[in-house]
């Protein structure tokens, strides 16, 4: 059984940034995400300024603002890190030993284990997408949002706020809205990234606070520094 020092769920702007910094600092990181085709995939092209020394800054190319090309560069940089294991799986619930979180169950079957578990699931907790008359369970266009993890967290007693984000119409994509949930501010400790109630569980990114790509990436960097200190 492989047990990462840090297991991060969600390779979006916050989770991928945190994983990259931890791996570069020598920590064995598992970065589990529901689709390798959407690793660090923007809704719209990211615009500088970006946090200095960030993965976001490194993956940005002012000569090429295509969102999928940005995603491909970020994925390449993540996969080039020897201590970072990026893999495809969908987390469906937390694995507990007493009051401590030790990993996640996955839809695919094999569980994933970590000394610290980080939820970086963005706009995917109980998400619904609205496009004209169409409504579907999705955290972004063409990306399904499965209910299991959200239901499991609710069953464990976590409280959430209703949130909404909007993507304007562009020449290549239709405009749409996403309604999702974020942890209630009383469920986590600002600055520590820890979720209260269960040991070993952290959260970062849009599932705890709003912000643009640069902010999410900055939060991912801060989480990495916090965990490096905590792990010693």
* Binders of ligand FAD in range 3-22 (CB under 6 A): 9-15
The number of C-alpha atoms within 13 Å of 183 and in the hemisphere containing its C-beta is 29
Please report how close the Cβ of residue 131 comes to ligand FAD at its closest, in angstroms.
11
Could you give the string, one character per residue 122-151, with x where binding to ligand FAD holds by CB under 6 A and - elsewhere? xxx------------------x-----x--
Of 86, 107, 92, nearest to 36 by C-alpha is: 86
59 vs 219: CA distance, rounded Å: 17
Any idea which residue has 């702007």 for tokens? 13
Task: Please identify which residue in 68, 161, 212, 231 interacts with ligand FAD, judged by CB under 6 A.
Answer: 212
Do residues 41 and 67 lie in contact, with contact meaning Cβ atoms separated by under 8 Å?
yes
Binding segment toward ligand FAD, per CB under 6 A, in 38-46, 49-57, 152-160, 188-196: 38-46
> Binders of ligand FAD among 50-89, rule CB under 6 A?
none
Q: Smallest gap, in angstroms, from Cβ of residue 212 to ligand FAD?
A: 3
Which of residues 18, 205, 218, 221 is near ligand FAD by CB under 6 A?
205
d(C-alpha 133, C-alpha 100), whole Å? 43
φ and ψ at residue 130, rounded to 5 degrees: -120, 120
Q: Which of 37, 38, 151, 154 binds ligand FAD (CB under 6 A)?
A: 38
């Amino acid at each position: 059984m492989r047990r990462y020092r840090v297991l991060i769920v969600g390779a979006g702007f916050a989770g991928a940034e945190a994983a990259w910094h931890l791996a570069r600092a020598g920590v064995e990181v598992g970065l589990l995400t529901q689709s390798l085709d959407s690793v660090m995939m923007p809704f719209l092209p990211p615009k500088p300024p970006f946090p200095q020394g960030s993965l976001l800054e490194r993956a940005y190319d002012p000569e090429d603002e295509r969102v999928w090309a940005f995603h491909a560069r970020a994925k390449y940089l993540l996969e080039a890190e020897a201590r970072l294991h990026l893999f495809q799986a969908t987390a469906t619930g937390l694995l507990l030993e007493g009051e401590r979180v030790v990993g996640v169950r996955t839809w695919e079957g094999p569980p994933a284990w970590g000394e610290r578990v980080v939820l970086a699931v963005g706009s995917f907790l109980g998400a619904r997408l609205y496009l004209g008359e169409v409504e579907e369970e999705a955290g972004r266009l063409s990306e399904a949002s499965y209910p299991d993890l959200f239901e499991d967290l609710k069953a464990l007693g976590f409280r959430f706020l209703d949130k909404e984000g909007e993507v304007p119409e562009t020449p290549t994509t239709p405009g749409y809205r996403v309604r999702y949930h974020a942890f209630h501010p009383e469920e986590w400790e600002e600055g520590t990234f820890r979720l209260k109630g269960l040991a070993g569980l952290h959260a970062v990114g849009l599932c705890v606070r709003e912000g643009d790509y640069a902010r999410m990436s900055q939060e991912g960097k801060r989480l990495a520094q916090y965990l490096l200190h905590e792990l010693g």
